[in-house]
Amino acid sequence: MEQQKPTTPHVKNKHTDDLIDHYWGSINYVSNLIKASEIKAGLILSFYGILLNFMYHRLDILQLAGVNKIVLYVLLAVWFAFTVLSIYYSIRCFIPRIESNYDKNIFFFKDIITKFGNIDEFSKTFYSVSLDEDQLFIQLGHQMFIISQIATLKFRDVNRALRFLGLGIIMLLIIGAYFTIIILHQSL
């Protein structure tokens, strides 16, 4: 009797493990970018907390004699508008952005609960997709695309918040220069 050689399962891609690591590494990289954008937005909000507290305790400087109140109020209004916009975009960065216009995905937390049935049905689907390389990589690619969109939106908001923060700081410098000129003018 002839001895049969054990058959090895057919593998479509010999580098499947490397590809899975590559996909998950890419997903983790973009997820870390999302976290970084939220940390930056949090730092911007913390900066405003310190700045606004400092300014609140220095309101007495607005009572300087000889200050043109209209010019001062216009400068402060422009600064306030920049500040509000910067805070708005910083807060907007924290707002969850869930895209639901895509096919169901075994890696998306909302789909897991709402589109795959109960726990056993999801587990079976997850297992079958995990065994099918093509489906697995398509699902991972979809997830990568979706979280990349989220990261793009969050970084856009952080960039806007930083721009308005910069404009607000420029306005504070102009207000400071205005007060310096008034004080120097009064001392002459």
- Would you kindly state where each structural domain of the chain is located, as residue ranges? 33-187
What's the pLDDT score for residue 62? 65
Model pTM?
0.77
Return the CA Rg of the chain.
28
Res. 80 pLDDT band, cuts 50 70 90: very high
Report the alpha-carbon distance of residue 79 to residue 73 in Å, rounded. Answer: 10
- To the nearest 10 degrees (0 to 180), the angle between helices 119-131 and 133-187 is 100
Report the alpha-carbon distance of residue 158 to residue 188 in Å, rounded. Answer: 45
List, for residues 120-156, the tens digit of each pLDDT value.
999 999 999 988 888 988 999 999 998 999 999 999 9
Query: Is residue 104 left, alpha or beta, with left meaning phi > 0 and alpha meaning psi from -120 to 50?
Result: beta
1-5, 72-76, 106-110: the lowest-pLDDT one: 1-5
What's the pLDDT score for residue 161? 97
Report the alpha-carbon distance of residue 118 to residue 128 in Å, rounded. Answer: 16
List, for residues 31-51, the tens digit of each pLDDT value.
999 999 999 999 999 999 999
Res. 69 pLDDT band, cuts 50 70 90: confident
Q: Catalogue the long-range contacts made by 174-183 (C-beta closer than 8 Å, 24 or more residues apart).
A: 174/75, 175/72, 175/75, 175/76, 175/79, 178/71, 178/72, 178/75, 179/61, 179/64, 179/67, 182/64, 182/66, 182/67, 183/64
Res. 12 pLDDT band, cuts 50 70 90: low
Element (H, E) at 100: none
Task: Summarize the confidence of residues 154-162 as an average pLDDT.
Answer: 96
